[in-house]
Amino acid sequence: MTEPIVISAFGGLESRRDHAETVGRDGRDDPSPGRGGGSHGAVQLRHNALLTALYAVFGLAFGFAVLHPVSMIIFRWFDPRLSGSMTNPSESILTPFFHAFQPDMAPMGLVFGLFSAGIAVIDGVYRLRLARQRDRLAAQLLVNRRYRNELLQQANLLRRQNERLSAMEEANRRHTRFMVHDFKGHLQTILGFSEVLLSKVKPEDDPSTTDALRRIRQQANKMSGAVMDLLEFSRLRESQQLQLRFVEVEGLVRESAADGCLPTHLGSVEVGPARASCPGVMADPDLLRRVLVNLAANALRHNRPGTRVVLDAEATPRGEVVFSCTDDGQGVPPEIKERLFRDYARGDRSVDRESTGLGLAFCKAAVEAHGGRIWHESPGGQGARFLFTIPQGRKDIEND
């Protein structure tokens, strides 16, 4: 049983299997000799040469056997002298046709044949080029169809994965809210009982018990702050819609420096002088307070005991308020500078080994939710300074 024959990319004849092998390599056919198989390229070149020779032979025969005799008849029609054969008007009109095959008319017939052969070769080459371009376009369409199908498959896969990720994120958010709710209840119970016990124990009577209860209360407050960080961080990732209102900067900085969640047993937190003349801002006061407290707590926990921390704020000509937290500690370890504001970024020099690593990531999310920016500096090569900006606000637009 013979194989089906198709026109190749070069205008020649080849089996459908050979054509499929030619087109199938890398999704396209390659007309260059020696590429995509040397033997196959040589066969195609021979096909091209043979086909071009056939065009030339056909053109030569057509010019000599058809074009030349017909032209003799036409010449006789216009002027008998041009045909070189008819001198008697009564002769047949086919006489010039037969005269064109006489030996003395061979040179003229050869001229017509060569002219016709040239036209045939040009037409053949043009047909070959059109056939090659057609096959290339067909091969490219096949490739495009294959890529389109692959892209559709990838898009469907991505859609399914996004749906799964969305479901997992929603489950994680629910779990986070449930955990925060449970932890808050447990921590409030611990804080309540520690306060009751502290009210019943006199420090001078039992200093060790009093110190233990104070540590329990302090750790419970710290744990409560970490739980609230986790909750607020989850909310900020889910939605950055804030409850903005006008906030007095001086009062906010003072309250943050005196917050009960700060580990003041590791150092002191002071208030800088610039905040006294600082204008107010439009912000979520709870989030902003937690940012300042987290920065101060990080400065105390990640430095040696006795570290001095200063919270301050200052207005800028750009209509922003720059809040700062400066310490005189050891500075930020070089190994975590690049990932300082990422989730769970922790150094090796932390005094407080119970750090969760979420504090600075929460600060970055909260500041960016306000439309500000946060960054780190090393003043004078000693200590660390964290700064963030919040747009200024006007008290008369609080209820707009």
Domains of the chain, CATH where assigned: 5-162 (no CATH), 243-397 (3.30.565.10)
Q: What is the pLDDT of residue 381?
A: 64
Structure tokens at 171: 């489950």
Sheet with 374-377: list strands edge to edge: 267-271, 307-315, 320-327, 384-391, 374-377
Structure tokens at 190: 């611990």
pLDDT by residue (tens digit) across 84-133? Answer: 554 555 556 667 777 777 787 778 778 888 888 888 888 888 888 888 89
Residues 6+ apart with CB under 8 A from 314: 274, 275, 278, 321, 322, 324
Task: Give dist(CA 287, CA 292) in Å, integer.
Answer: 9
Q: Is residue 391's pLDDT more than 70?
A: yes
Closest CA to 388 of 312, 334, 335, 297: 312
pLDDT by residue (tens digit) across 325-338? Answer: 999 888 887 777 77
Q: Is residue 67's pLDDT more than 70?
A: yes
| Residue 59, φ and ψ in degrees, nearest 5 | -65, -40
At position 112, the amino acid (one-letter code) is F
Q: Is residue 16's pLDDT more than 50?
A: no
Q: What is the pLDDT of residue 19?
A: 46
Are the CB atoms for 95 and 105 separated by under 8 Å? no
Q: What is the pLDDT of residue 38?
A: 58
Return the residue matching tokens 């969640």: 261
pLDDT by residue (tens digit) across 136-194? Answer: 999 999 999 999 999 999 999 999 999 999 888 777 777 776 777 677 777 778 878 88
Which has more pLDDT, 63 or 75? 63
**Greatest extent of the chain over all pairs of C-alpha atoms, in Å:** 156
Task: Give dist(CA 363, CA 181) in Å, integer.
Answer: 22
Is the dihedral angle over the CA atoms 345, 347, 350, 352 positive or is it negative?
Answer: positive
Which has more pLDDT, 261 or 157? 157
Strands of the chain, DSSP E: 5-7, 13-15, 245-247, 267-271, 281-283, 307-315, 320-327, 374-377, 384-391
Are the CB atoms for 198 and 179 separated by under 8 Å? no
- Average pLDDT across the chain, whole number: 76
Share of the chain above pLDDT 90, in %: 20
Q: What distances in angstroms separate CA 110 from CA 96, 275, 375, one per listed residue?
A: 16, 106, 90
| Residue 396, φ and ψ in degrees, nearest 5 | -75, -5
Are the CB atoms for 332 and 343 separated by under 8 Å? no
Lowest mean pLDDT segment, chosen from 251-255, 359-363, 382-386:
359-363
